[in-house]
Structure 1
Amino acid sequence: MGFHRGLHFLFIQVLWSVFAEGNKWKVTLPSRLSALTGSCLVVPCSFTHPSSHTPHSASWYLYSKMPSRYPLVYSSTRPEAVEAHFRGRTKLLGNVTHGTCTLLITEVTAQHNGEAIYPWIDNVGFKFYHTVVTLDVSETAAKPVMTISGELVEGHGVTVSCEVRHSCPLAPPTLSFERHGGEATVNSTEEGDGRWRLLSTITFIATAEDHGRPVGCKVTFPGGQKATTDLVLHVKSLEFNMTSIKVRQLPK
């Protein structure tokens, strides 16, 4: 009897801990985010709240070590009070009543680099500034990453992929292949924590003329930054005779 009573008590404790966890203020957002100047930045943010409270609004602030100073990053009710380098550049995405506090920053500038920001839900006593996200802003674009799937053999199909990471799904960068034909397909995937993966691929039939030929992929960001990666093709040739097919390496 005591054993069953103990199990029952443990079960109640687990249920209570789950209820308590979902019945308090808790903000979830990445600790750091990277962005390029001139691009936008989406800061994913969600929160839980006591069941006794219905959230209505969310503001964002710039973390300050100065006492009694709370610089505004976003406010729907006091847009004129927002810090100058954020004013007109911030917007709330999603529905606050559904536990979403995601922030959009358009046209990120170098001045945003190193700054820590945090959300504030309604006018409640919870100290939201204990959870901040730091912005890492760069002026230089990283080069795209290129890969080839399969072995390059004359007369066979080959797929070349080019990918880049970014922070702006509303205005993503563009990828373009240079110095080669083939129709490109583009896919965008959310990786989480404010990062997206943009992937472009082309498929073509390899020829002997492709051997030693570079295929380039260029990324262009909304801020005007560009970066290019080149990949040299090394095509193997097919030799036919009456009884067999041989694959040989073409001379460099």
Structure 2
Amino acid sequence: MIIFCLLLAAFSSPVFTGEWKANVVKELEVLVTSCAVIPCTYTHPKDHTPTSRQRRIWHRGSNKEERIYAEDQTLVLENFKGRTQMFENQNENNCTLEMTGIQGHDNGPFCFRIELVQKGSDTPSTDKFSFVENCVTFKILNDQKPKLTQQQTAIQGKPYVITCSVTHTCPSKMPKLTWNRVTTDDAITVVHKDNRFGYWETESILTFIPGEKDDHSEISCTAEFNGGKTSQTTLMLYVKRTETYNHIIIPTVAVIGTAAIFAVICTVMVKRYRKRIDELQSRDGSLWNRMSRFSHRIRSHASGPSRADPRPANQKVTKGRFPSPKSPPKSCNYRQDADDGDDHMNALDNNVYGNM
């Protein structure tokens, strides 16, 4: 079924049906002061005689006398003289027209017409074909800004690509794209594309290695069109620094280093303190021993009587006999020791005597 439809469409084309028909783009967005190329093709009957010469004409609207292009420039409207010409090499079925210096009132519509002229004669024959049903109109633009396309993220030290592109209607005089970056390390590639239906595209591909200084910088692309009109587009470039662990390593090393220094200081201080303690203990060892012996002697004297003279619990205590203070001593065996330091014993004797 698909093959049958294709064959049916082919056989029903104007070439095989013997019709004259032009194929012209319907509308073009054209930048003022620039140029426009109107794609146009036409077909003729299969039995068209090659003895006749085809005269191609473009006129404005349905008025066939308002010619914007003709081989005879005297027949062209004054406003279009020198601004229109047939584009590239014209084969038998090509009617493409180029118009330069687009003005604000060049809206159209513009239509194609063909006249057949017998060879050897300048008078056209009665075969004239105007394709007023297939005309083109212009939408005049006052500005045509380039478009900037960039990768998602610019990483420091890695190649990065930004593309500047602009759509235009003037393939014979391509717009020129320039960047605001001036460096020998940048690589720029220019590409021209035919987007068909009267539109072409110029691309400038910028490849560079962003650095830290490129962060938060402006990248601008300027398009200069035929006729001198310029337009610029700017974007802000954000550069992501190379992924490192410095933000983790540096604080960790600082904390560990501080802790190590603090531990060393504490260790040194403890060693010095212990050494000082040992020196003091070795220096004051005899004094400490004497104080220990002295305290031990005091404790032994305090508990001496109970240990020296233990008595059974059931033993009766007999009261001793003491001579009267008025009677003389019976014996002269008592002798007082002078300066023997035994004040403690004398004090005990006096207490006993007083109690009696």
TM-score band (shorter)? 0.7 to 0.9
CA distance in 2, matches of 1:228, 1:144: 7
Please name the residue that 2:103 is paired with: 109
> Aligned-pair distance for 1:59?
0.8
Q: Look at both structures and tell me which one has the larger radius of gyration over its CA atoms.
A: 2
Please name the residue that 2:140 is paired with: 137
Q: Which moved more, 1:50-59 or 1:187-196?
A: 50-59
CA distance in 2, matches of 1:160, 1:15: 46
Contact 2:115 2:128 in 1 (8 A): no
SS at match of 1:50: coil
Structure 1 unaligned segments of length 5 or more: list them.
1-6, 246-252
Q: 1:35 aligns with which of 30, 35, 43?
A: 30
Please name the residue that 1:49 is paired with: 44
Contact 1:40 1:105 in 2 (8 A): yes
CA distance in 1, matches of 2:241, 2:215: 9
Contact 1:175 1:217 in 2 (8 A): yes
Q: 2:131 aligns with which of 119, 122, 128?
A: 128
Please give the residue correspondences for 1:1-252 in structure 2 after superposition, counting only pairs within 5 Å. Answer: 18-21=10-13, 22-23=15-16, 24-53=19-48, 54=50, 56-64=54-62, 70-76=65-71, 78-94=72-88, 96-112=90-106, 114-123=107-116, 124-138=127-141, 140-179=142-181, 181=183, 182-241=186-245
SS at match of 1:137: strand
Deviations 1:135-162 (A, max 9, x none): 2223x22221101125311111100111
- Residues 163 and 15 of structure 1: is their aligned pair in 2 closer, same or farther, counting only changes over 3 Å? closer
Contact 2:37 2:97 in 1 (8 A): yes
- Residues 226 and 52 of structure 1: is their aligned pair in 2 closer, same or farther, counting only changes over 3 Å? same
> Aligned-pair distance for 1:109?
1.6
- Residues 145 and 115 of structure 1: is their aligned pair in 2 closer, same or farther, counting only changes over 3 Å? same
Structure 2 unaligned segments of length 5 or more: list them.
117-126, 250-356
Count of residue pairs brought into register by the alignment = 228
Higher relative contact order (CA 8 A, sep 6+): 1
TM-score, reference length from structure 2: 0.59
> Aligned-pair distance for 1:56?
2.1
> Aligned-pair distance for 1:18?
3.1
| Higher share in helix | 2
Identity in percent? 29
SS at match of 1:156: coil
- Residues 46 and 155 of structure 1: is their aligned pair in 2 closer, same or farther, counting only changes over 3 Å? same
Q: Which residue identity is paired with 1:184?
A: I
> Aligned-pair distance for 1:97?
4.5
TM-score, reference length from structure 1: 0.81
Contact 1:93 1:103 in 2 (8 A): yes
CA distance in 1, matches of 2:103, 2:194: 23
- Residues 215 and 15 of structure 1: is their aligned pair in 2 closer, same or farther, counting only changes over 3 Å? closer
Q: Which residue identity is paired with 1:39?
A: S
Q: Which residue identity is paired with 1:56?
A: Q
Q: Which residue identity is paired with 2:104?
A: A
Q: Aligned-residue CA RMSD in angstroms? A: 2.5
> Aligned-pair distance for 1:189?
0.4
CA distance in 2, matches of 1:61, 1:197: 28
Please name the residue that 1:248 is paired with: none
Deviations 1:205-244 (A, max 9, x none): 12111110111111111222221111111111124359x9
SS at match of 1:122: strand
> Aligned-pair distance for 1:95?
5.0
Deviations 1:87-142 (A, max 9, x none): 11111124555300001112222221x2111111224244411111012223x222
> Aligned-pair distance for 1:17?
6.1
CA distance in 1, matches of 2:7, 2:198: 32
CA distance in 2, matches of 1:209, 1:219: 26
SS at match of 2:54: coil
> Aligned-pair distance for 1:61?
0.8
